[in-house]
Amino acid sequence: LSGHGHLLERIEFDGTTYLQGGAVCGMWWKGPVFDNPEGFLVVTCHSDGTFATEYHDYGWKVIG
C-alpha cells in the first residue's frame, strides 16, 4: 500500500496485490493526477486474509 505517487492504482503481480491510494491534494492542490480524482482509499481487511477497497473522492474543485 502506497500513496506517494498520488494515483489510484491496483497491480496484481506474481500473487501479490500492490495498491496505491491516491491523494487528497491531487497534483499538489492543482487538480487531479492523470484523471484520478483527489481523494483517499479505504482498505478493509478481513480475518480470512481477503480485503476490499473503496475510493472516496474528496470532492474539492480547483479555483483559478
Q: Residue 63: its pLDDT value, please? A: 85
Element housing 13 (H / E):
strand 8-13
Cβ neighbours of residue 5 under 8 Å, at least 6 residues apart?
20, 33
Q: Which residue has the higher pLDDT, 64 or 47?
A: 47
5-62 pLDDT, tens digit each: 899 999 999 999 999 998 999 888 999 988 889 999 999 999 999 999 999 998 888 8
In degrees and rounded to multiples of 5, residue 57 shows phi and psi of: -70, 125
